[in-house]
Amino acid sequence: MNVLAQAAPAKLNLHLGIHATLDERRYHRAESLMVALDVCDEVRLCEDASLVEPAVVCDPPVGIPAEQNTAYRAAVALAKRFGKTPAARIDIRKVVPDQSGMGGSSSDAAAVLRLLCNAWCIDVADPRVADAARSVGADVPFFLDPVPTLLVGAGDVVAQKFPRLSDPVPVVLVRPLGPGISTKVAYAAFDECHEQPADPDPLCELLRSGCAGPQELAQHLANNLDPIACRLLSGVAEVRDWLLAQDDVLGGQVTGSGSCVFGICATDDAATRVADAAHMRFGGWSRAAHIV
Catalytic residues, by residue number, are: 11, 139
CA torsion sign for 57, 58, 61, 64 is negative
Residue-by-residue DSSP string for 55-106: EEEEES--SS-GGGSHHHHHHHHHHHHHT----EEEEEE--SPSSSSS-HHH
- The CA-atom distances, in angstroms, between 146 and each of 32, 100, 107, 231 are 13, 18, 9, 30
- Backbone phi, psi, residue 131, to 5°: -65, -40
Instruction: Find out whether the peptide bond into 166 is cis, omega within 30 degrees of 0.
Output: no
Let me know if 3 is exposed, middle or buried by CB neighbors in 10 A (0-12, 13-18, 19+): exposed
Phi first, then psi: give them for residue 136, nearest 5 degrees. Answer: -90, -40
